A and B are shown apart, each in its own frame.
Chain A
Amino acid sequence: MTHRAIVVDQMKCNGCQICEIHCSRIKEGKVWPEASRIQIFPFFPGLDIVVVCQQCENPSCVDVCPTDAFFRDEETAAISIDSEKCIGCGACAEACPLGAIFFHPENGKAVKCDLCGGYPECVKRCPENALEYRMTPFDATANPSEIAQNMKKKLVIVE
């Protein structure tokens, strides 16, 4: 199955958190970065790594869920979570190579990007056009720290 996801150009991200602001507005009705489904992780020396679900074709999060709370949206192919079923055990977050599953700051349940039904708000709002909603045949493999290390290597930044 081909799928679409939010693909990030990490070098374009300036760390402004506007994606987080709007994600939480859409999902929670307020500016609440900790409840955002897309999050930016700052890495030395000044890199901002955006973490958002890549909607993998072979998602490890789905396999490990003890309550079968995950399902794939028929319309968008987004992997979504049935919050009724989620018990907040964290197995999915542990299994995700990218770390793109977060915990809701209030109820502790797993939350993740569901592509806003095919019209992702963060993509629309990013002032740097660092986010793109398009088809991607790749599963997530690296974690944010590895992405940052890789960028540093390319930039020939030695610590």
Chain B
Amino acid sequence: MGFAGKKLCIDLGNEKSTITPLSPDDARPLIGGKGYAAEMLLENTKPGIDPLGAENVIILATGPITATRIPATGRMCFVTKSPLTNTYNDSHVGGHFASEMKHAGYDYIMIKGKSETPVYIYIKDEDIQIRDATSLWGKDSFAAEEAIKNLHNDRRIRVASIGPAGENSVRFACVNIDLYRQAARGGVGAVMGSKNLKAIAIKGSGFIEIHDVDTFDKYVKECYKAIEEDEGLYTMKRWGTGRSVIWSSYTSLYPTRNYQSSTFEGAEKLAGEEMERKIWIKRKACFGCPIHCGHLAVIRGDSKYAGAVVEGLEYETTALLGANCGVDNLEAVTYANMLCDKLGLDTLSAGGTIAWAMECYEKGLITDKETDGLKLEFGNEEALIEMIRAIAYRKGLGDMLAEGTRRASEKIGGREFAMHVKGLELPGWAIRAAPSMGLAYATADRGGCHQRAWPISFDLGSETPDGKIVERFAPHGKAYPTKYQQDITASLYSLIACDFATGTIGVDRYIALLNAATGWDYDREEFMKTGERIWNLIRIYNIREGLRKEDDSLPDRIHTDPLPEGPAKGRKLSSEDFGIMLREYYEVRGWDENGVPRAETLQRLGLAGKSF
């Protein structure tokens, strides 16, 4: 109940697929979704494997409440060893693939091995085919999705595909779903490409059983009411994540010109309000979601970018492809966004890497010789667009940038302003105006990620989960709120819930819904503890893969360069202060001074015996 009840394993090496039953009892200690997938990754891969080798696996994970009618549960995640960070990666994506996958009868699909020639996987309920994709190889993501739908003559097939970037092993290549939704972060697309797997197409005709329908319906009704009445969600429904652009820049949180500043003078031109006025023509939603935060953007008229169509732009994209590259032309950023989707690049890492290259160019580390005369300066929208193409096809300088900021900076210098954590380029929330976010990035399970904890609100004055108010720029007291959010998010991502609904629906309601769907008897304490268990399990995996304390760190710029403008002008996060935060964090986590979980912590969480 809640679960579809089956796991599918496809070995591309010998073209064999096996269906095994999934017992909800097995999933229960880790809920499902991200948690159970993390354990699958731990158990199905050998330590130290090459993420782009045949031994790596990709796990498509849904949760026990996916494809039910709880609002905002259309999400799923792709779990794999990341070629960008060499550690754990789960990349979440909305759209309609997750629900289709569960309707086809699968909670998990694990893909292993490597095909000799390009293939795509076609799944229609229990009919599983590994089909030739020679004619699809080289096509962009949009064209590949269209070709597959046409081939099977079914518009309702859902397709997860990679573009040329994934084929060319760009380390931050994404997986594209429903044209404009991406499992973007950490390079899942490159892993697919390394397996010669162009796409996974799925169609399901089943349904999900609910354990206690009456109770379930009662809580779903409450969810809908809460969503309708929550005034805070009005802006999300209207402007999507673009609602945060102006506020973020005003608060010094909007990364600008490779994080040199956190206030962007052109923020208003990239805001959701501006998109509503200029480019949006309709709204887009994931399966069963009444929040519908997505928008379809079309560039029309006599613009040189006319004809560009993309879903978005999301806040993160405006921050990384826009402000961080110094570009304030909304139409250009829209076009760049579309190009990233089409060619299969993560807009965040692409923006982060290009911004780093722009700074290198301005500082002379990259010259006209490498760029072939291209003026790779901040604010040059043509250079931004050219570099996206160059990276996706690994042409010229793009070949080096396709390795990501960390590897590129190890090669040519500029490490002190290479804005990444563990190799994953930082997202669009700057640190120096909200130091807690630095701790969240440094300790996130997949590298520089804003979705594991977002403690900025505590720095700005919200009460912490233990009822305290922290001092914004002081290092103390930041560890517990961050840990709390990480734990609860790990559990919610195992359901799999969406960030934009969790605040409104509330954890208690999610637990009630989980219990009604599955017949379990989770309470808040167990739910929290499960999150902590998942977090520690992933830590074990990461340590096994070579993660050390030094990796829980931030780019030098955060410690050395004070913010040049805005309300947090002059602020930086000193290494000493960061050291205090990290020490406190290890302490509240029950980890030793090297960030390794103590035996008693693992014992308490029921993880004793898991080896690093």
Contact = CB atoms under 8 A, between A and B. Distances in A.
Contacts of A18: 288-290
B307 A14 contact: no
Given A43-B155, A46-B309, A15 B285 contact: yes
A19 to B, nearest CB: 10
A107 B554 CA distance: 59
B103 interface: yes
Interface stretch (A30-38, A68-76, A85-93): A30-38
Nearest to A18: B288
B221 interface: no
Interface string B64-88: 0001110000000000000000000
Given A31-B68, A33-B103, A46-B309, A14 B204 contact: no
Contacts of A120: none
A128 B282 CA distance: 10
A54 interface: no
B6 interface: no
B269 interface: no
A34 B292 contact: no
A87 to B, nearest CB: 20
A34 B300 contact: no
A155 B292 contact: no
B288 A16 contact: yes
Contacts of B300: 155-156
B307 A31 contact: no
Nearest to B179: A46
B399 interface: no
B179 A44 contact: yes
B610 interface: no
A137 interface: no
B294 A14 contact: yes
B290 A16 contact: yes
B46 interface: no
B287 A17 contact: yes
B96 interface: yes
Contacts of A46: 179-180, 284, 296, 309, 311
Interface string B550-588: 000000000000000000000000000000000000000
Interface in B414-434: none
A145 to B, nearest CB: 8
Interface string B112-145: 0000000000000000000000000000001000
Nearest to B311: A46
A28 B37 CA distance: 32
Contacts of B4: none
A21 B208 CA distance: 12
User: Chain B binding site: helix, strand, loop or mixed by DSSP?
Assistant: loop
A16 B285 contact: yes
Contacts of A116: none
Nearest to A46: B296
A12 B281 CA distance: 9
Interface residues of A, number: 34
B106 to A, nearest CB: 15
Interface string B290-304: 101010101010000
A102 B479 CA distance: 55
Contacts of B67: 31
Contacts of A33: 99, 103
A13 B69 CA distance: 18
| Residue from A14, A35, A39, A144 whose CB has the most chain B CB atoms within 10 Å | A14
Contacts of B148: none
B69 A128 contact: no
B142 A44 contact: yes
B283 interface: yes
A117 interface: no
B309 A14 contact: no
| Residue from B179, B207, B288, B292 whose CB has the most chain A CB atoms within 10 Å | B207
B342 to A, nearest CB: 10
Contacts of A32: 103, 206-207
A158 B307 contact: yes
Contacts of A31: 67-69, 207-208, 288
Given A16-B292, A17-B288, A18-B288, A41 B298 contact: no
Contacts of A48: 284
Nearest to A106: B205
B505 to A, nearest CB: 16
A1 interface: no
B286 interface: yes
A14 B146 contact: no
Nearest to A105: B205
| Residue from A18, A24, A35, A158 whose CB has the most chain B CB atoms within 10 Å | A18
A118 interface: no
A42 B178 contact: yes
B456 to A, nearest CB: 29
A43 to B, nearest CB: 7
A45 B68 contact: no
A9 to B, nearest CB: 10
A104 B96 CA distance: 21
Interface in B356-402: none
A44 B178 CA distance: 9
A41 B156 contact: yes
Interface of A: 11-18, 21, 24-25, 28, 30-35, 39, 41-46, 48, 105, 127-128, 144, 155-158
Given A46-B180, A128-B292, 9 more contacts: A18-B288, A30-B208, A31-B67, A42-B156, A43-B155, A46-B309, A155-B281, A155-B300, A157-B307
Interface of B: 67-69, 96, 99, 103, 142, 146, 155-156, 178-180, 204-210, 281-290, 292, 294, 296, 298, 300, 307, 309, 311
21 contacts: A16-B288, A17-B96, A17-B287, A18-B288, A18-B289, A21-B288, A31-B69, A31-B288, A32-B103, A32-B206, A33-B103, A34-B204, A41-B156, A45-B142, A45-B309, A46-B180, A46-B309, A105-B205, A127-B292, A155-B298, A157-B298
Can you list the 7 inter-chain pairs with the closest CB atoms, starting with the nearest? Answer: A16-B285, A32-B207, A105-B205, A45-B309, A14-B283, A41-B155, A14-B285
